[in-house]
Amino acid sequence: MDLPNTAQNNQNRAAVTPVAAVTTPGRTGVFTRSTEPATGEPSRLHAAAPLGPLPAPRALTVSLVIPAKNEARNLAWVLGEIPDCVDEVVMVDGRSRDATLLMASICRPDIRFVAQSGTGKGDALRAGFASATGDIVVMIDADGSMSAREIPHFIHFLTHGYDFVKGSRFIAGGGSLDITPFRRTGNWALLQLVNKLYDANLTDLCYGFCAFHRQFLDLLDLTADGFDIEAQMTVHALKAGLRIAEVPSLELPRRSGRSNLHAIRDGNLVLKSVLRDRQRRHRTRSALDLLHLPYAGRRELATHHG
């Protein structure tokens, strides 16, 4: 009985093994590890890459960053919602005067605290991102308006080829039990501006439930100190050419206490940030940078067409 042509089979299989996807505005492409058809030699782009199937994907670790200031009454519910897929919880304390730190340590003994040196939500999140160690970083608020049970949906897209995933209250399956008509109108107006400036089709802008691969943190180039951090993350992800996905999310009312959000003041802050960033040069990633995507993200790109 003739044996199968193993060498030829391996060469054919290598020729269609995906490594990474490139996304730029209006274009999506896939790099493959291939051989030159005429010579059988490895292609020059991936000459050093081994042929054959990719290694088995390793499990990506997940860090959850929660900025908190005087949220002791909300933390039992917030921390109790965290799913098992989260490996690390980082709480950034904005010099709380209540029992925030004690309550967090009781509810989650493995929680890691970061003391905020500056002020504002953006400053707190930047400190938390810098301290996180997971492959994936997720951010939620400490007021109970977001359920950490939704985190697996974000991780699903991050392990299926996307770089940055944001929650949306305004797509099928999402919603808000808290937003006022005035805030909804302001969010819509700012969203239309961003979609127009960056040729995007996003459905939500000022919502702070986001997740991303930590290796892209430098590309996000975050500088905002206030509530404009959420819009800045989205704008900078667009400018950097990151592949963005939106997932439905339900915004809940704050469980207790008063919000620090001021619609007019913070809306103006977001507007100034968007216009300022439009004029600002931004670093972009090259095609070869994409080869460092986690294996779990690479392997799925062959079958994902979103």
| DSSP code per residue over 81-99 | T--TT--EEEEEE---SSS
In angstroms, what CA-CA distances link 274 with 41, 170, 189?
Answer: 48, 21, 12
Mean pLDDT of 158-185: 93
Report the pLDDT value the prediction gives residue 283, as an integer from 0 to 100: 52
In angstroms, what CA-CA distances link 18 with 59, 141, 164, 301?
Answer: 19, 37, 20, 7
Quick one: 177 exposed, middle or buried, by C-beta within 10 A (0-12, 13-18, 19+)?
exposed
Residue 20 has pLDDT above 50, yes or no: no
Mean pLDDT of 28-36: 36
For 173, the 3-state DSSP assignment is coil
Report the pLDDT value the prediction gives residue 271, as an integer from 0 to 100: 78
Report the pLDDT value the prediction gives residue 18, as an integer from 0 to 100: 35
pLDDT > 70: what percent of the chain?
70
Confidence of residue 147 (pLDDT cuts 50, 70, 90): very high
For 176, residues 6+ apart whose C-beta sits below 8 A from its C-beta are: 169, 184, 250, 251
Q: Are 285 and 240 in contact (CB under 8 A)?
A: yes
Report the pLDDT value the prediction gives residue 170, as an integer from 0 to 100: 95
**H or E element in which residue 211 lies:** strand 210-213
In the DSSP assignment, the letter for residue 26 is T
Mean pLDDT of 78-107: 96
Mean pLDDT of 92-99: 95
3-state helix, strand, coil in the chain (%, to 5): 40, 20, 45
Which range scores top for mean pLDDT: 11-20, 22-31, 56-65, 260-269?
56-65
Which range scores top for mean pLDDT: 28-32, 38-42, 207-211?
207-211
Mean pLDDT of 136-164: 96
Confidence of residue 274 (pLDDT cuts 50, 70, 90): confident
Structure tokens at 160: 């299926």
Mean pLDDT of 282-288: 46
Q: At what angle do helices 229-239 and 121-131 cross, to 10 degrees?
A: 60
Mean pLDDT of 56-83: 93
Structure tokens at 162: 């996307």
Tell me the per-residue pLDDT of 184-215, one tens digit each, with 9 for 90 and over.
Answer: 998 899 999 999 999 999 999 989 999 999 99
pTM for the model stands at: 0.72
Residue 161 has pLDDT above 60, yes or no: yes
Report the pLDDT value the prediction gives residue 56, as an integer from 0 to 100: 61
Confidence of residue 54 (pLDDT cuts 50, 70, 90): low
For 233, residues 6+ apart whose C-beta sits below 8 A from its C-beta are: 164, 166, 210, 212, 220, 222
Strands (E) located in 34-135: 62-68, 88-93, 112-115
Strand arrangement of the beta sheet that strand 112-115 belongs to? 112-115, 88-93, 62-68, 136-139, 210-213, 164-168, 244-248
Residue 129 has pLDDT above 80, yes or no: yes
